[in-house]
């Protein structure tokens, strides 16, 4: 099965290469790396869970477009929240990106590597190469 990297690798705050592909296509599946709430400038978005969830979902939208996918192609999301009390507000923003038939999802509370991040989200898409 062919494996195709989608998008360039990023860089870490110290300028070194971040050894993570934004997404990888493997056959009919596209695996999107975990996304933190960063703006176009690569800096963490300040704000509450609504602002940070919106930033993550917009970043995900950009990765999906690069992969030739959209939100309707997502079959599974995984989300990590630093505060369980954020779940309700997160869920409202998250749900607004899916018109109907949302994907399966796991959500857990976890400390994240960057202390100002309130969430991280990754996704798996199913998008056949040939229909």
Domain range annotation of the chain: 3-7+20-126
pTM of whole model > 0.85? yes
What pLDDT is attached to residue 98?
96
3-state secondary structure the chain: CCEEEECCCEECCCCCEECCCCEEEECCEEEEEEECCECCCCCECCCCHHHHHHHHHHHHHHHHHHCCCCHHHEEEEEEEECCHHHHHHHHHHHHCCCCCCCCEEEEEECCCCCCCCCEEEEEEEECCCCC
- Domain 3-7+20-126 CATH (choose: 3.30.1330.40, 3.30.43.10, 3.40.190.10, 3.30.365.10): 3.30.1330.40
What pLDDT is attached to residue 14?
72
What pLDDT is attached to residue 47?
94
What pLDDT is attached to residue 118?
97
Average pLDDT for runs of 10 along the chain of length 131? 82 75 95 93 92 97 96 98 97 95 96 90 94 66
């Amino acid at each position: 099965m062919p494996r195709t990297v989608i998008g360039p690798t990023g860089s870490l705050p110290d300028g070194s290469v971040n050894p993570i592909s934004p997404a990888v296509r493997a056959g009919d599946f596209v695996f999107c790396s975990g996304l933190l709430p960063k703006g176009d400038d690569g800096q963490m978005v300040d704000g509450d869970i609504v602002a940070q969830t919106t930033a993550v979902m917009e970043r995900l939208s950009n990765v999906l477009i690069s992969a030739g996918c959209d939100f309707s192609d997502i079959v599974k999301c995984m989300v990590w929240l630093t505060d369980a009390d954020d779940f309700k507000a997160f869920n409202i923003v998250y749900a607004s990106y899916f018109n109907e038939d949302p994907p399966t999802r796991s959500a857990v509370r976890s400390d994240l590597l960057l202390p100002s991040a309130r969430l991280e989200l990754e996704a798996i898409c199913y998008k056949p190469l040939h229909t």
